[in-house]
């Protein structure tokens, strides 16, 4: 995260705190982050010197009419300053500050197949017990995992995938072979 993203994301955080709008602005920030991540051309539009600034600001009002005025004005300021490319990072900074303030940690969960709501609920409860904090799950699917889960909780990788366990076993066997000098000695061969 850049200093600019920290500074501007932090300024939006302070404003939201001062006005007791943290939850409302969080909703906007999450939508904005998703929209800009999925529509990179919109950021190019906001940065385009070939389009009058008034037209770009008007487009922000139309596109984000449901947002709180503070959020819309934040997007406008970033656009006017030529910083629209940093909006996603500012959103990330806002969310990180919100989570710190509210004792929330994010768990990135990757599974071989989509987790059911019941599985997500049980996993969340288990992670909350482990961390002592409220856990927000961000789930994704990666069929290459073979099975199990790969969980990153507050930056710490908690490997539970079949592929990860196989790699751990493979690594331990290799280490044991090197320590004992038995590399390839007699495994699967007749003596």
Q: Are residues 114 and 139 in the same domain?
A: yes
For position 134, what pLDDT does the model report? 94
The pLDDT confidence band at residue 112, using thresholds 50, 70 and 90, is confident
Long-range contacts of 59-62 (CB under 8 A, 24+ apart): none
Does the pTM surpass 0.75? The reply is no
77 and 28 within one domain: yes
Residues 12 and 33 in one domain: yes
CA–CA gap between residue 72 and residue 81 (Å, rounded): 14
End of a domain among 100, 123, 154?
100
**Low-confidence winner among 82-86, 135-139, 156-160 (lowest mean pLDDT):** 156-160
pLDDT tens, residue by residue, 26-39: 999 999 999 999 99
More confident residue, 160 or 65: 65
Tens digit of each residue's pLDDT (9 = 90 or more) over 32-62: 999 999 999 999 999 999 999 999 999 999 9
In a domain, 191, yes or no: no
CB 103 within 8 A of CB 134: yes
Give the CATH number for residue 9.
1.10.520
Is residue 41 within 8 Å of 128, Cβ to Cβ? no
Domain that holds residue 167: 103-180
pLDDT at 189: 44
More confident residue, 180 or 63: 63
Indicate whether 187 belongs to any domain.
no
Q: How many residues does the chain have?
A: 191
How confident is the model at residue 172, as a pLDDT? 65
| pLDDT, mean of residues 154-167 | 63
pLDDT above 70 covers a percentage of the chain that reads: 83
Final residue in a domain of this structure, among 100, 130, 151? 100
| Pairwise CA distance, residues 58 & 54, whole Å | 6
Q: Are 45 and 56 in contact (CB under 8 A)?
A: yes
Task: Answer whether residue 109 shows pLDDT above 60.
Answer: yes
Q: Check residue 190 and give its pLDDT.
A: 45
């Amino acid at each position: 995260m850049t200093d600019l993203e920290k500074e501007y994301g932090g300024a939006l955080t302070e404003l939201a705190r001062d006005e007791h709008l943290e939850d409302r602005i969080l909703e906007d920030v999450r939508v904005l982050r998703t929209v800009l991540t999925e529509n990179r051309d919109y950021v190019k539009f906001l940065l385009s010197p070939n389009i009058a600034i008034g037209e770009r600001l008007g487009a922000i009002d139309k596109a984000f009419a449901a947002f709180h005025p503070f959020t819309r004005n934040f997007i406008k300021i970033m656009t006017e300053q030529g910083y629209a490319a940093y909006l996603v990072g500012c959103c990330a900074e806002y969310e990180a500050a919100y989570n710190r303030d509210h004792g929330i940690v994010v768990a990135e969960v990757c599974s071989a197949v989509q987790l059911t709501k019941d599985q997500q609920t049980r996993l969340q409860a288990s992670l909350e017990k482990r961390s002592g904090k409220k856990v927000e799950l961000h789930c994704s699917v990666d069929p290459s995992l073979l099975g199990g889960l790969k969980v990153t909780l507050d930056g710490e990788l908690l490997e539970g995938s079949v592929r990860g366990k196989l790699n751990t076993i493979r690594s331990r066997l290799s280490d044991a072979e090197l320590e004992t000098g038995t590399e390839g000695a007699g495994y699967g061969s007749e003596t």
